[in-house]
Amino acid sequence: MSSSAPERIGRYTVLGELGRGAMGVVYRADDPQLNRTVAIKTILMSSDPVVRAEYEARFRQEAKAAGGLNHPNLITIYDVGREGDLAYMAMELLEGVELRDMMKSGPLEIPFVLDILAQVADGLSFAHERGVVHRDVKPGNIMIVGGRRAKVMDFGVARMHVSEIETQAGAVLGSPKYMSPEQVSGDAVDGRSDIFSLGVILYELAAGAPPFDAQEVGQYMMQIATATPLPPSARAPSLPPMLDLIVARAMEKNRGERYQTAAEFAADLRACLVQPAPAAPSPQAVELELEGSLAPASAAGRMPLSRGFASAGGLERLAERAAGSRRARRAAPALMQRLNDEPLLAVLGAGVIIAGIAALVIALV
Residues with catalytic roles: 136
* CB burial of residue 222 (10 Å; 0-12, 13-18, 19+): middle
CB 102 within 8 A of CB 144: yes
* 339 phi and psi angles, rounded to 5 deg: -65, -40
Tell which residue, 204, 188, 196, has the closest CA to residue 257. Answer: 196
Report the half-sphere exposure of 124 (CA within 13 A, side-chain side).
34
Q: Which residues pair with 43 in a beta bridge?
A: 87
Report the half-sphere exposure of 98 (CA within 13 A, side-chain side).
11
Nearest-angstrom CA–CA distance, 133 and 174: 12
Report the half-sphere exposure of 253 (CA within 13 A, side-chain side).
11
| DSSP SS3 for 343 | helix
